Amino acid sequence: MLWSSKCTQRIKFFAWLLLVDRLNTKAMLLKRHFHVKPNTLCVMCRSTIEEDIDHLFFFCPFAISCWNKLGIQWSTATNVYDRILLTARNSNIPFFMEIFLIAAWEIWNLRNSKIFGNGRPTIRLCIHNFKQQAHLQLLRVRGTDRPPFVQWLETIS
C-alpha cells in the first residue's frame, strides 16, 4: 500500500521510516544514545508521555484531534502495520493510504517546527497544511481518480 500510493517519494520514504520504527523521535534518539534536551516527553501535548511513534502519531491528543477532523478513528491494534491495515479496511476510503501519509507528514512537520523553529502548532494549522499538501499530491493522481479525493477534501472543515 505504501509504495503504490500516489504520494511523492519523499513522503513515502518518511512513512517507511515511521513503519520500520526508524524515525528520529525523541525515544529513538535516546535509544541511539543522543542527549535529548530537555527530555524525551512529547512536545505536542505537554503530557508526561515519551515521544515515540505510537504516541506522536496515534495516541497524542493533538494527533487524535487531527485524525478526528479527517474522520479517521484508529483501530486498537497494538502493531502499527495492523492498526493501519485494519483502519484502512474499516474506513472503506479508496485513498486511505494517501490520507494517512499526508496527515502523518504534516504532524511530523508541525512537531519539527515546534522543536526547531518555535512554531505554534494548532489543529486548524494541521488541517490547513494537510489540505495544501493533499492538493499538491493530487497533481500526481490520474484524472479519473481526482474527483472523489477532491470531493472528500471539500468535506473537511
What pLDDT is attached to residue 145?
80
Across residues 119-134, what is the average pLDDT? 96
Write the pLDDT tens digit of every residue in 8-62. 999 999 999 999 999 999 999 999 999 888 899 999 997 899 999 999 999 999 9
Across residues 120-143, what is the average pLDDT? 93
Q: Residue 112 — pLDDT band, cuts 50, 70, 90?
A: very high
Select from 153, 95, 92 the least CA-distant residue to 127. 153
What pLDDT is attached to residue 118?
87
Write the pLDDT tens digit of every residue in 85-95. 999 999 988 89
- Contact between 41 and 51 under an 8 Å Cβ cutoff? The reply is yes
Q: What angle do CA 129, 107, 8 make, to 5 degrees?
A: 70
The model scores a pTM over 0.75: yes
Q: Residue 143 — pLDDT band, cuts 50, 70, 90?
A: confident
Share of the chain above pLDDT 70, in %: 100
- pLDDT above 80 for 142: no
Helix axis angle for 9-19 and 80-91, nearest 10°, is 120
- pLDDT above 90 for 78: no
List, as one string, the DSSP characters of 32-45.
TT---SS-SB-TTT
What pLDDT is attached to residue 88?
93
What are the extents of the domains in the chain? Answer: 56-154
Query: What is the SS3 assignment for 55?
Result: helix
The 3 state secondary structure assigned to 96-129 is HHHHHHHHHHHHHHHHHHHHHHCCCCCHHHHHHH
How far apart CA 33 and CA 40 sit, in angstroms, is 12
Q: Which amino acid is at 88?
A: A
- pLDDT above 90 for 130: yes
> All 3 cell numbers of residue 140?
500526481
- pLDDT above 90 for 113: yes
